């Protein structure tokens, strides 16, 4: 009788827990249905994003801290996969993401501006253009 009373009093919490459990199972099954290559591609994309955000947040000369931050974010985003991901494979994927990130920084001034909170100014920019970029954050 006590159990039934507790369920009736807390039915909203039980419904939310069941919904979250269902969504988690759905996400895991959906991810596991992908081929291993597709799974790694998803992880690579997520790592590239996480490396970018870690660099934006911490800037330079904090490699080990950024590595740990990215690992924490990865375990939050892909909790099941991280059970099967070895440290060596993680380091390999992280290194790939870092190489790609550095290449993107060189090729894309907007990304550089985003990460390091700077403004890229060209020789053609007028004072008005520079002020607009500074105000708009472009």
pLDDT tens, residue by residue, 80-125: 777 778 889 888 999 999 999 999 988 887 788 788 877 766 677 7
What CA–CA distance (Å, rounded) separates 123 from 73? 40
Tell me what the pLDDT averaged over the chain comes to: 83
- pLDDT tens, position by position, 32-85: 788 888 888 888 999 999 998 898 888 877 788 888 899 998 888 877 777 778
Half-sphere exposure of 133 (CA within 13 A, CB side): 17
CA triplet 121, 125, 126: central angle to 5 degrees? 125
Chain centroid offset of residue 96 CA = 15
Q: How far apart are CA 95 and CA 92, in angstroms?
A: 5
Q: Is 66 exposed, middle or buried (0-12, 13-18, 19+ CB in 10 A)?
A: buried
Q: Domain residues of the chain, as ranges?
A: 1-119
Query: DSSP for 75-138?
Result: HHH-TTHHHH--HHHHHHHHHHHHHHHHHHHHH-HHHHHHHHT-----TT--HHHHHHHHHHT-
Q: Is 27 a residue whose pLDDT tops 90?
A: no
Please list the helix, strand and coil fractions of the chain in percent, rounded to the nearest 5, in that order: 80, 0, 20
């Amino acid at each position: 009788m006590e159990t039934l009373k507790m369920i009736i009093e807390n039915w909203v919490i039980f419904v939310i827990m069941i919904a979250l459990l269902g969504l988690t199972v759905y996400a895991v099954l959906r991810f596991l249905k992908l081929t291993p290559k597709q799974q790694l591609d998803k992880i690579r994309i997520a790592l590239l994003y996480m490396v970018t955000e870690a660099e934006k947040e911490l800037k330079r000369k904090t490699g080990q801290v950024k590595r740990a931050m990215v690992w924490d974010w990865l375990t939050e985003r892909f909790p099941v996969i991280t059970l099967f991901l070895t440290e060596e494979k993680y380091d390999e994927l992280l290194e790939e993401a870092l190489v790609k990130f550095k290449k993107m920084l060189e090729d894309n001034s907007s990304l550089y501006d985003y990460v390091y909170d700077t403004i890229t100014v060209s020789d053609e920019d007028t004072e008005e253009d520079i002020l607009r970029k500074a105000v708009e954050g472009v």
